[in-house]
Amino acid sequence: MRLPRPRGPLSALTAHSLATAARSGAVISTDRFAEQLADMAPSCDILVDDDFQLTLWMLYELHYRGFDDVDPELEWDPQLLACRQLLERRFEKELRFRTGGPVQKALQQGEKGADLAAQVNWLIGHMGGPRLAPYLQRQATREEMLEFLAVRSVYHLKESDPHSFVLARLAGAPKVALAELQYDEYGAGRPARLHQTLYGDALAAAGLDSSYGAHVELAPGSTLAVNNVMSLLCLHQRHRGAAMGHLAAFESTSSIPCRKIAAGLQRLGFPPAVAAYFLEHVEADAVHEQVAVRDLCGRLVAQEPRLHTEVLFGVACCLYLDALANTHLLDSWQAGNPEPIGAGA
C-alpha cells in the first residue's frame, strides 16, 4: 500500500514528511505540526474531519503494515510519536466529552451498579445509530452495497489486528478469553478461514480490489475514526479496559446485522462468496459477544474493578462512532450521491 492522497493541510504535511524523511533525514517539525493543528477551525468536528482522521490513520498504520513508500524505521520516530500524541489527546478528549453522559447513566443501571453485562446492554439499547443493516437488506442499490463493502474493508482487511496488541497487556482469565476470540478470528488453525482472508474473498467475488488498504481513499473521515479509535485504545496499555469494552460492543452489535446484510447481498444477486463472510459472522459473533462481555470484560473488571468505567467508555466509543459512520453513509445515499467505487484502488 502507498500513502493515500492528503485531504487537507495536516495530512499533506504528514504525508510529505513520511514520504521524504528517508532522503531528507529530517522527519517532521512537531512545532509546525502543532501550529497546523491549531489552525483547524474551532468549529471543526474532529470525529468526522477528513484531514484530522486521515492524518491519525497514517500515523497508526506505521504500526500495522506500513506503506511501500515510507521508511519502516519511522514507526518509532519520536517526533512522529509526539505529533500522534497531539492528535490522540484531542481525539480522546472529544470521545470522553461525547460519551460521558451515556456512560454515567449506564453506571446507574443494574443492581448496585455492578452488573456489567446489563450496563453494556443498556448502552447498546440507548446509543444505537441509524438502521444501516435493514437498509442494506431491503433497499440498497448495487452501487450502494459496493460502496459499503469497500468502505468497510479499511477495517475488515485487518480485522482483529488492533486487539492482538492488547494480549500482552492482560493477565490470567481475560487474556485467555481474548486469545480464544482471536484464535477464532484468525481462522482457528485454517488459513482459508482467517476472517481477513474471508473478507478479501468477498471483495474479490464482488469485483472489488481485495488488496490491503485498497479502498482507504474512499473512506470518509467518520469511517477512518471507527478504525482510529481501535488503534487509540489498543495501542495504549492504560486504555486496555476501554479496548476490551469496544470489542464487546462491536461483537454484540454484529450477528443480527450480518444476517441482514447477507440477505441484502443475496437480494442483489451477489455471488455466495460475498455473503459467506457475513454468514460466518452471524454464528461467530453470537459466540464472541458472550465471550467478550462475560469472560473477557466481566473477568477483567473482577480482576481490576477500577477498569469498570473504562470498559463502558470503550463500549460507548464503539457505539457512538459506528453511529456517526452509518449516518454518514445513509445521508450520502439519501442525497443520491454514491461516491465512485474503486476510485482509490
Partner 1 sequence: MSILPMRPRRDQAVQIEPCPDGPVLVRGAEVVLDADGEEHEVTRPVVALCTCGRTQSKPFCDGTHKFLRP
Residues 119-178 interacting with partner 1 (rule: CB under 8 A): none
Cα Rg of the chain (Å, integer): 20
The span from the CA of 141 to the CA of 249, in Å, is 28
Cell readout for 252 is: 454484540
Which among 128-136, 141-149, 219-227, 277-285 is the span making contact with partner 1, rule CB under 8 A?
277-285
Helix or strand (DSSP H, E) at 270:
none
SS3 114: coil
Give CA torsion, residues 47, 200, 285, 96, to 10 deg. Answer: -10
Nearest to partner 1 of 29, 290 (CB atom): 290
194, 235, 286, 302: which one binds partner 1 (CB under 8 A): 286
- CA 297, 301, 305 angle in degrees (round to 5)? 160
Closest approach, Cβ 118 to partner 1, in A, equals 10
CB 114 within 8 A of CB 106: no
Closest approach, Cβ 324 to partner 1, in A, equals 23
49, 77, 285, 322: which one binds partner 1 (CB under 8 A): 285
Chain-centre distance of CA 341, in angstroms? 21
31, 69, 73, 283: which one binds partner 1 (CB under 8 A): 283
Residue 75 as a binder of partner 1 (CB under 8 A): the answer is no
The span from the CA of 160 to the CA of 186, in Å, is 8
Residue 259 as a binder of partner 1 (CB under 8 A): the answer is yes
Which among 46-54, 99-107, 134-142, 254-262 is the span making contact with partner 1, rule CB under 8 A?
254-262
Nearest to partner 1 of 196, 255 (CB atom): 255
Binding-residue pattern over the window 88 to 117 for partner 1, x denoting contact by CB under 8 A = -----------------------------x
Q: Is 305 exposed, middle or buried (0-12, 13-18, 19+ CB in 10 A)?
A: exposed
> Which distant-in-sequence residues (6+ apart) come within 8 Å of 108 by Cβ?
none
What is the per-residue DSSP string for 275-323? HHHHHHHHHHHHHHHHIIIIIIIIHHHHH-GGGHHHHHHHHHHHHHHHH
Residue 180 as a binder of partner 1 (CB under 8 A): the answer is yes
> Which distant-in-sequence residues (6+ apart) come within 8 Å of 11 by Cβ?
4, 50, 51, 54, 55, 58
Nearest to partner 1 of 19, 117 (CB atom): 117
Residue 201 as a binder of partner 1 (CB under 8 A): the answer is no
Closest approach, Cβ 256 to partner 1, in A, equals 5
255, 296, 328, 330: which one binds partner 1 (CB under 8 A): 255
Cα–Cα distances (Å) from 70 to 20, 87, 190, in that order, read 8, 20, 32
290, 303, 327, 332: which one binds partner 1 (CB under 8 A): 290
Residue 228 as a binder of partner 1 (CB under 8 A): the answer is no
16, 45, 294, 344: which one binds partner 1 (CB under 8 A): 294
Total binding residues toward partner 1, as defined by CB under 8 A: 20
Residue 188 as a binder of partner 1 (CB under 8 A): the answer is yes
1, 12, 81, 282: which one binds partner 1 (CB under 8 A): 282
Binding site for partner 1 (CB under 8 A): 117, 180, 183-184, 188, 193, 255-256, 259, 282-287, 289-291, 294-295
